[in-house]
C-alpha cells in the first residue's frame, strides 16, 4: 500500500496491495542475485554456477505469473482507482521488466560453457565493470521503489547513460580483439552478446524507474532520457563512414 496515504476502509484490500508489492521486491532480489551470479560465472568460467542461475529463472517467471494473476484479480474484484490503480498497473509492468531481466541473466549464463573453451581474460575487465554498474543501478532502483522516491528513480533513469557508454566501449574493444585474431571471434561474439544483455538490462531498469514515476505522479516523465549507445555506427573500417 502506498506509504503516504491512509489505510483503506476495507483492510483486505490493503493486504492484497501489500502482498503484490512484497512479491515485486522479492523479484527484485531474485533478479539481482541472478545477474550477480551470472557475472561471477562468466568471470570464473563456473559452469555449475551458470547452470544454477539458469534454473533460478523459473522462480522469477513464476513470481511474474502470480503478480499478473493477482493484479487481474484486484482489478476485477476491487476496481482500484487513482493511485491504487496506478499502483497495480505499475507493479504489473515492473514485474514484466524484471522477468525479462531474468531472461537476460539466463542468456548470459548459457554462454559460460563456450567461453570456458576459449577464455579471453583481457576482455573480462570491461564486462565486470559493466556488470557492477548494472547491479548498482538495479539496487538503487529497488531502494527507490521501496521508499517511493521518484528523484532517486530519476537519478537511476539518467544513470543508464553511463551503462550505454560502457557498452559502446565494450563493442569497440571486442571488435579490436576480433580484428587482431580470428581465433578470438567466437569468444568475442559471446562476450558481445553478454555486454548487449547487460545493456538491455540497464534499459529495463529505466522502464521500472518510469513505472515508479507514473505510480507516484500519475504521468510519465516528460524529459528525454540521455542515451549513449552509439554502437550502431561502429565499424571495423574507420576510414569508411556509414550513411544516415
Partner 1 sequence: MKNSFTLKAKNTLPSESSLPPGAAGAGNDPVKMDSNNVNVYYGTKQALKDVALPIRMHRVTALIGPSGCGKSTFLKCLNRMNDTVVGCRVSGSITLDNEDVYGPEVDVVQLRARVGMVFQKPNPFPKSIYDNVAYGPRIHGMTRDRTEMDQAVETSLVKAGLWNEVKDRLKEPGTSLSGGQQQRLCIARAIAVNPEVVLMDEPCSALDPIATARIEELIDDLARNYTIVIVTHSMQQAARVSHFTGFFHLGELVEFNQTGIIFTNPKQERTKGYVTGRFG
Q: What proportions of the chain, in percent to the nearest 5, are helix, strand and coil?
A: 80, 0, 20
Q: Is 15 in the site for partner 1 (CB under 8 A)?
A: no
Q: Is 45 in the site for partner 1 (CB under 8 A)?
A: no
Instruction: Based on the shown chain and the rule CB under 8 A, indicate whether residue 114 belongs to the binding site for partner 1.
Output: no
The binder of partner 1 chosen from 10, 55, 146, 236 (CB under 8 A): 10
Question: Rule CB under 8 A: is residue 82 a binding residue for partner 1?
Answer: yes
Q: Is 8 in the site for partner 1 (CB under 8 A)?
A: yes
Pattern of binders to partner 1 over 211-230, x per CB under 8 A? -------xx-----------
**CB 223, min distance to partner 1, A:** 17
Cβ nearer to partner 1, comparing 183 with 220: 220
Q: Which is nearer to partner 1, 1 or 34 (CB)?
A: 1
The label of the residue with cell 580470428 reads: 182
Distance CA 202, CA 133 (A): 9
- Which of these ranges, 51-59, 77-85, 103-111, 171-179, lies near partner 1 under the rule CB under 8 A? 77-85
Please give the size of the binding site for partner 1, defined by CB under 8 A: 17
Q: Which residues bind partner 1 (CB under 8 A)?
A: 5-10, 13, 79-86, 218-219
Amino acid at each position: 500500500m502506498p506509504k503516504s496515504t491512509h489505510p483503506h476502509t476495507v483492510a483486505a484490500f490493503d493486504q492484497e496491495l501489500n502482498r503484490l508489492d512484497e512479491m515485486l521486491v522479492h523479484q527484485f532480489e531474485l533478479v539481482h542475485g541472478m545477474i550477480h551470479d551470472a557475472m561471477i560465472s562468466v568471470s570464473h568460467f563456473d559452469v555449475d554456477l551458470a547452470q544454477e542461475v539458469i534454473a533460478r529463472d523459473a522462480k522469477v517467471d513464476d513470481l511474474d505469473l502470480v503478480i499478473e494473476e493477482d493484479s487481474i484479480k484486484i482489478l476485477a474484484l476491487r476496481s482500484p482507482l487513482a493511485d491504487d490503480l496506478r499502483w497495480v498497473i505499475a507493479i504489473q509492468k515492473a514485474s514484466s521488466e524484471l522477468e525479462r531481466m531474468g531472461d537476460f541473466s539466463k542468456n548470459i549464463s548459457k554462454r559460460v560453457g563456450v567461453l570456458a573453451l576459449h577464455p579471453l581474460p583481457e576482455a573480462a575487465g570491461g564486462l565486470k565493470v559493466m556488470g557492477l554498474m548494472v547491479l548498482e543501478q538495479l539496487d538503487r532502483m529497488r531502494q527507490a521503489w521501496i521508499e517511493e522516491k521518484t528523484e532517486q528513480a530519476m537519478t537511476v533513469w539518467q544513470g543508464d547513460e553511463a551503462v550505454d557508454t560502457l557498452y559502446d566501449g565494450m563493442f569497440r574493444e571486442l571488435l579490436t580483439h576480433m580484428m587482431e585474431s580470428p581465433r578470438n571471434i567466437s569468444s568475442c561474439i559471446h562476450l558481445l552478446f553478454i555486454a548487449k544483455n547487460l545493456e538491455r538490462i540497464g534499459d529495463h531498469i529505466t522502464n521500472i524507474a518510469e513505472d515508479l514515476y507514473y505510480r507516484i505522479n500519475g504521468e510519465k516523465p516528460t524529459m528525454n532520457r540521455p542515451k549513449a549507445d552509439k554502437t550502431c555506427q561502429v565499424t571495423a573500417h574507420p576510414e569508411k563512414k556509414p550513411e544516415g
